[in-house]
A and B are shown apart, each in its own frame.
Chain A
Amino acid sequence: EVQLVESGGGLVKPGGSLRLSCAASGFTFSNYDMNWVRQAPGKGLEWVSSITSSSTYIYYADSVKGRFTISRDNAKNSLYLQMSSLRAEDTAVYYCAREMDSSGSFDYWGQGTLVTLSS
């Protein structure tokens, strides 16, 4: 069974940093492109970042470019999102999502981890 389990969320002050992790199991992690998608409270879905299976290509939404860094460790079956210079508008549930056949659609999602910005 495919499982994606996010961790690392919490309460952080504006300007602070946080590192999210996503532990993958039930599939060959190194074969799949992976993504982070976020959802602000009561709002819609926003794609944040993607990384190809071998980390060759990385993409970011303009809203996070220069502040967030996506990475992965295929030996540990883990995906990461390093977030810095956090802003109030970064408050959201952050989902780890597996990309289906490198297509750009997401066939498996984690349960999400909540990041809350508050001074």
Chain B
Amino acid sequence: DIVMTQSPDSLSVSLGERATLHCKSSQSVLVTTTNRNHLAWYQQRAGRPPKLLISWASTRESGVPDRFRGSGSGTEFTLTITSLQAEDVALYYCQQYSTTPLTFGGGTKVEI
């Protein structure tokens, strides 16, 4: 199984400041047949289901503000929130979908 490790566990950032979240996979999630990184980021606000923010490591979903940016390749990935807003307080999870079992990281809690 591919183990996804997120860091830090929690992050306190001032409004308007940058938040940087990390995700590392135990094996590469770059799939040669697609030449894409099979890595997604989700946001989960309190009491709500997860919401897909970014797929293919760096493709923002429709309606997701451009302050959310995904980057990385292979085994190391980053989610950057360039200017934190109050509504960004949430848990953030990375997920690999290169192979089953599909696996998630343990999450990073972003606070203000």
Q: A residues touching B (Cβ–Cβ < 8 Å)? A: 35, 44-47, 50, 59, 61-62, 95, 100, 103-107, 109-112
Contact = CB atoms under 8 A, between A and B. Distances in A.
Contact of A106 (B50, B100, B106): B50
Contact of B52 (A59, A100, A110, A111): A100
A62 B103 CA distance: 12
Nearest to B59: A105
B61 A107 contact: yes
Main secondary structure of the interface of B (DSSP, over half): loop
Interface in B39-80: 40, 42, 44, 49-52, 55, 61
B93 A105 contact: no
Interface of B: 38, 40, 42, 44, 49-52, 55, 61, 93, 95, 97-98, 100-107
Contacts, number: 56
Contact of B103 (A35, A47, A109, A112): A47
Give the most central of A45, A46, A107: most B CB within 10 Å.
A45
Contacts of B61: 107
Contact of A62 (B50, B55, B101): B101
